[in-house]
A and B are shown apart, each in its own frame.
Chain A
Amino acid sequence: MTSHRPADCSAHFGPAYGLAGAEGQPIRLGWSVFGEDNQPGPATSTSSTSFSLQNGRLGCFSLKFFNLVSEIQWPTFRPRLDLRVHFRLIMAPPWQSQRSSSPSQPAGKGEVADVKTQLRNLAGSRAPGVDDSKRELFKKVISYMTIGIDVSSVFGEMVMCSATSDIVLKKMCYLYVGNYAKVNPDLALLTINFLQRDCKDEDPMIRGLALRSLCSLRVTNLVEYLVGPLGAGLKDNNSYVRMIAVMGVLKLYHISASTCVDADFPTTLKHLLLNDQDTQVVANCLSALQEIWSLGGSASEEVSREREILLSKPVIYYLLNRIREFSEWAQCLVLELVAKYVPADPNEIFDVMNLLEDRLQHANGAVVLATTKVFLQLTLSMTDVHQQVYERIKAPLLTLVSSGSPEQSYAVLSHLHLLVMRAPFIFSSDYKHFYCQYNEPSYVKRLKLEMLTAVANESNTYEIVTELCEYAANVDIPIARESIRAVGKIALQQYDVNAIVDRLLQFLEMEKDYVTAEALVLVKDLLRKYPQWSQDCIAVVGNISSKNVQEPKAKAALIWMLGEYSQEMHDAPYILEGLIENWEDEHSAEVRLHLLTAVMKCFFKRPPETQKSLGAALAAGLADFHQDVHDRALFYYRLLQYKISVAEQVVNPPKQAVSVFADTQSSEIKDRIFDEFNSLSVVYQKPSYMFTYKEHRGPFEFSDEIGNVSIGTESADTVDPNRVEANDKDLLLSTSEKEETRGLNNSSSAYSAPSYDASSVSVPTSQLSGLVISNPSVSGNAPQSSFAIDDLLGLGLAVAPAPAPSPPPLKLNPKAVLDPTSFQQKWRQLPISLSQEYSMNPQGVAALTTPQALLRHMQGQAIHCIASGGQSPNFKFFFFAQKAEESSTFLVECVVNTSSAKAQIKIKADDQSATRPFSSVFQSALSKFGMP
């Protein structure tokens, strides 16, 4: 045995080494270690016995083992060590190799080659027990496949071995074939034969399995072989086969829609949907048809008619009457469909609801949620009944929250949150269900906190806030923060805030830095809404040492309060002075901005005490490397220089209490999310068009370099090279994206500003007429840097390149029409004919508080908006316009950033030559925005 081993090894490592080629470095090392230590010793002799049980087959793991043995020389432990390794070899060989595995592991290839020869030997054999050895080999192949080792090279052998009556062997073989057929279309042809034969087997099990595998090959040029077996499968007298055949039709549709339609399979499915005895067949028909008709392109009239038929009364009633027979999953499917159904009259609504009433008692949470959706959608127009529905669904939904895994609770809680936003009263007496348990995962706790915030009303606020205060001392700091924020949100919702203010002020006295930080931010917001509380708050805030506040947001809040209430806070100017002295150490631009404003405000209230600090702050601000800070300092400087009283009006006007803080989501978006109840939209809190890619056809692939999902290139058949970036597909910017872009802007604007010596600025006051600075001539500067400053102040009008003279002024059709679909289509097809960046005038920027303002203005200029979105400072618009005489269309994507007063414009046009004139029309229209 011992003497055989080295020969054995080289025989098996030989090919592996050869195959490894360039990537063979690790092997070479392992090999050489083995080679050098190739002294026959006790270590190797004991190991050989264990390998002999493996029939001398050695792989990567055995190599590792040799390393282990040859490196660790512990004679006493050796036998036990051996036993252990041996055990692992037998139990789970393939994964042993995974420790160091990469998909193309060279040692694995040696093993693959080995399997290949063994398979070949077994292929023709009819010896007894051959199936068992085949099974072991197949298992091995499948396990390699799972780890990611490419075993496509044994395709031929696998197919040869597939002639067997052992159903488990067959299944493994089918699985293998399904996995590799796509990359080996030629070899896949080999399998067609035996799969087709199996499709006619007398055992329905085998017929079904073969049919499923046949349809899973996903090879385009083999579809012709699918049609026959599928047709037979759909007519099979066994429901198992029919059920698989129905899914097969859908698979075929994905591979080749035309083949599927030509064979008239959708019609057959429709027939089965309404006539098959078996509910699983019916359910599969339903999913298949829904998918086929939703993929079929919305344009086709036939498709939309088919979709209507699916939602027609007979179909819906047929499915509803059989709903109890369906499996729980199929019930979800049916209920989802019913939710889209529009009943003719109230009686019908009640009939459907009475029929489905008992589904709310189903153990499967998904069924309960789907039923909830049906109830809510059906009663949308009947306010009274809608309220009753809320009452009815309450108990089952609360049960769902407390039963099942935390993940399931999470899904349900997301839905409850959506409901409670629409109808805050529904859970107001059940708030105790949303008290957090100590051991719950944070994602559940977070949603529960949101629920508590949302259900708080006058009667339960006290209890809820008391509970939330308990969490403020939570070990889990993020949750503690959330709960303090929750208290603040409740305070801003309520009329009676006495108790809450006290609580918040207690937080400030807890002397935990994160608690203080969160509480400060809240006190600031509270003061903006309830200025009458200033006395109490200021007393406490005044005691906080600014040294204990480190977080930028909290620091900014504190500084804001110092500025705003400098009259009442005794030490305000001195605290600010201390902060300004440490200007250099302050890393957050936000804090520095607030510091500038606060010191200005303080100056107007207590000039003698603040004058010095103001000077220091302005000097520091002007020298600041951050663009915004620099700008604001310069702005204040000039303002003060112009007239102090005007400056006071600007910086410190009498304020009105904020009555309602802006809602982050428009009601339109909320409604869309509600329409997509019981889906991901609710969890993400955004409608599906914001996170799914409808046009996307190819597979999502993950690439590490980009760290993102790129769109598969192989499927670029339908889309032209000018494909729209993913961003353009969601015409509206989502909240999270907005934040990202905002963050991006901040960081990108952090480039060092053009060197600018503040002392050299001598702006003649006479030139500054009012607050609207027209175009000051800045003396003593190179033209370049003056340009830069002009730009920064939003004075770009004169600087923008003069538009090319356009002889005939372009006339636009004021009543142009274009529907969103054709807009998207055009946008995708047309190349960008012009891409430009304009500067907006300050009035325009000031007027652009909501997208709607600009829309109305542009409409007046015969430029229509098709979609818009965003929030200050980033807005995005899609406009279109048509020529007055002909139907030539212009499409514009316009991204406005109000903080930098820039508008980026991309124009696409049917008539390329007219782009320039149109661009100037557009620009002038834009520049008129905000002008009286």
Chain B
Amino acid sequence: MPVAASAIYFLNLRGDVLINRLYRDDVGGNMVDAFRTHIMQTKELGTCPVRQIGGCSFFYMRISNVYIVIVVSSNANVACAFKFVVEAVALFKSYFGGAFDEDAIRNNFVLIYELLDEIMDFGYPQNLSPEILKLYITQEGVRSPFSSKPTDKPVPNATLQVTGAVGWRREGLVYKKNEVFLDIVESVNLLMSSKGSVLRCDVTGKVLMKCFLSGMPDLKLGLNDKIGLEKESQLKSRPTKSGKTIELDDVTFHQCVNLTRFNSEKTVSFVPPDGEFELMKYRITEGVNLPFRVLPTIKELGRTRIEVNVKVKSVFGAKMFALGVVIKIPVPKQTAKTSFQVTSGRAKYNAAIDCLVWKIRKFPGQTEPTLSAEVELISTMTEKKSWTRPPIQMEFQVPMFTASGLRVRFLKVWEKSGYNTVEWVRYITKAGSYEIRC
């Protein structure tokens, strides 16, 4: 039995039930009490997302200030259950217009019950695609609680669509202006040792699309990845163009992508869903261009003083710039006084996270601002040894830069009516977990 969820609960942080939906008879309505007394009210909370209590297993996830709990009594498929919760939350978000929290649930509980009925039947996941569900579950969220009456009948072919072969797109869409927006969003994960050697570095990237296209268009996307280019030159018996090619470690695609064609021809071709979606995800470990280098020196001068010097070097093109750069430099808990000198941006001491927070709103390429700070500590005997230095953490966004060097070579749109489309492409690199030990 893959997933036969017996019940699903939505709880707030106090443990009050916001929504409960029992799908099967094999658990009692009060199983949620077991969750409350054995997980929520103990230190167990957050130590493990799967727990067995009695004969039942509980999967739980916290999303903003809500716990979503799935109860199963059989040997269920864990990955499937968590994926289901993630997808369900995405669905609710698309209905509520963004937020998913306690208030959103309270204000939309009837809608949630309706959706819970459709997305799972007798514990088996059914249809979770927002595109299709929105065709026949039309009740708007709080945005217009009383005014908009639901349509008396669903769109005539909605129910066919519910389970149709192209489950992610409905027919008969018309746009005046046919546009496609393509965003390549990469997040760089870095772990650097205090000696400056890279312990671990990889990039996880996403290709996000926003489609406003009429009819049933066929799209084809070309990237400068190694396999795709090689295959192409093979097919056209042309030598591979010089220039950088990227080796993707692993790629996953949205269900709309024709995977057979990808495997044989290495081209990404698909009929896109309407609106916004994530076309593909990829992972790269080789040849990553790190946008920033951080060179910290932290000296403990005696028992009550620490000298911090951090130099951050931007190593992308001089014409580009990074936005929203934040560098968090850890200091001991017993910090009493700090004083700074920065060559760019602003720094302050944040006692809540025990960090010096250095913010640089706009950070041009090929520059290296520095921060030097002096930290005075309250002298305590006991805590002297216990300062274990957490890593320096960094946040940033670099538009028009990809750490992997990935580029879109072409995006072709083909539709039988032969309209013209406008394509927009953006690149952005963000910090994933960018940690430098010091």
Contact = CB atoms under 8 A, between A and B. Distances in A.
Nearest to B126: A280
A250 to B, nearest CB: 6
A708 B37 CA distance: 11
B394 to A, nearest CB: 12
Interface in B34-51: 34, 37-38, 46-50
B125 interface: yes
A364 B83 contact: yes
A363 B255 contact: yes
Given A247-B122, A684-B52, A691-B52, A95 B386 contact: no
A215 B189 CA distance: 50
Given A287-B124, A363-B253, A279 B163 contact: yes
Q: Most A CB atoms within 10 A — which of B28, B31, B122, B389?
A: B122
Interface string B26-68: 1110110110011000000011111011111101010000000
Contacts of A726: 55
A336 B163 contact: no
B75 to A, nearest CB: 4
B251 interface: yes
Contact of A704 (B17, B33, B83): B33
Contacts of B2: 287, 332-333, 336
Interface stretch (B198-206, B232-240, B319-327): B198-206
B20 A146 contact: yes
Interface stretch (A35-43, A395-403, A911-919): A395-403
Interface stretch (A53-61, A354-362, A790-798, A843-851): A354-362
Interface in A399-449: 399, 402-408, 410-412, 414-415, 432-433, 435, 437-439, 441-443
B250 A395 contact: yes
Interface stretch (B149-157, B175-183, B400-408): B149-157
Interface stretch (A482-490, A641-649, A695-703, A716-724): A695-703
A467 B193 CA distance: 9
B55 A709 contact: yes
Interface stretch (B91-99, B113-121, B344-352, B361-369): B113-121
Nearest to A407: B49
B117 A399 contact: no
A175 interface: yes
A146 B250 contact: no
B86 A143 contact: no
Contacts of B133: none
A327 interface: yes
Interface string B284-308: 0000000000000000000000000
B252 A438 contact: no
B1 interface: yes
A710 B146 CA distance: 45
A461 interface: no
Interface stretch (A235-243, A521-529, A594-602): A235-243
Q: Most B CB atoms within 10 A — which of A139, A361, A435?
A: A361
Interface string A368-412: 111000000000000000000000000110110011111110111
Contact of A218 (B25, B28, B53): B25
A333 B386 CA distance: 51
Interface stretch (A469-477, A563-571, A827-835): A469-477
A481 B124 CA distance: 41
A361 B259 contact: yes
Interface stretch (B104-112, B210-218, B374-382, B412-420): B104-112
B73 A692 contact: yes
A358 B265 CA distance: 13
B127 A327 contact: yes
B341 interface: no
Which label, helix, strand, loop or mixed, suits the secondary structure of the A interface? helix
B163 A243 contact: yes
Contacts of A92: 106-107
A704 B53 CA distance: 12
Given A171-B117, A250-B122, A405-B61, A702 B30 contact: yes
B127 A280 contact: yes
28 contacts: A142-B113, A143-B109, A165-B152, A167-B152, A203-B153, A205-B136, A205-B159, A209-B117, A218-B25, A251-B122, A358-B260, A370-B77, A405-B82, A407-B49, A408-B79, A408-B86, A415-B79, A438-B435, A441-B46, A678-B78, A679-B78, A683-B50, A683-B78, A684-B50, A691-B55, A691-B75, A699-B25, A701-B28
Interface of B: 1-4, 16-20, 22, 24-28, 30-31, 33-34, 37-38, 46-50, 52-57, 59, 61, 72-80, 82-86, 106-107, 109-110, 113-114, 117, 121-122, 124-129, 136, 139, 146, 150, 152-154, 158-160, 162-163, 165, 167, 189, 191, 199-200, 202, 204, 249-255, 259-260, 262-263, 278, 280-281, 283, 385-386, 388-391, 393, 433, 435, 437
Interface of A: 91-92, 95, 98, 132, 139, 142-143, 146-148, 165-168, 171-172, 175, 179, 203-205, 208-209, 212, 218, 238-240, 243-244, 247, 250-251, 254, 278-281, 284, 287, 290-291, 294, 324-325, 327-329, 332-333, 336, 357-359, 361-366, 368-370, 395-396, 398-399, 402-408, 410-412, 414-415, 432-433, 435, 437-439, 441-443, 467, 470, 473-475, 511-512, 676, 678-684, 688, 691-693, 696, 699-702, 704, 707-710, 712, 726
Given A218-B25, A403-B283, A680-B50, 16 more contacts: A171-B113, A325-B165, A329-B125, A329-B128, A332-B3, A362-B259, A363-B280, A364-B255, A395-B283, A399-B250, A406-B49, A437-B433, A443-B47, A679-B78, A699-B27, A708-B53
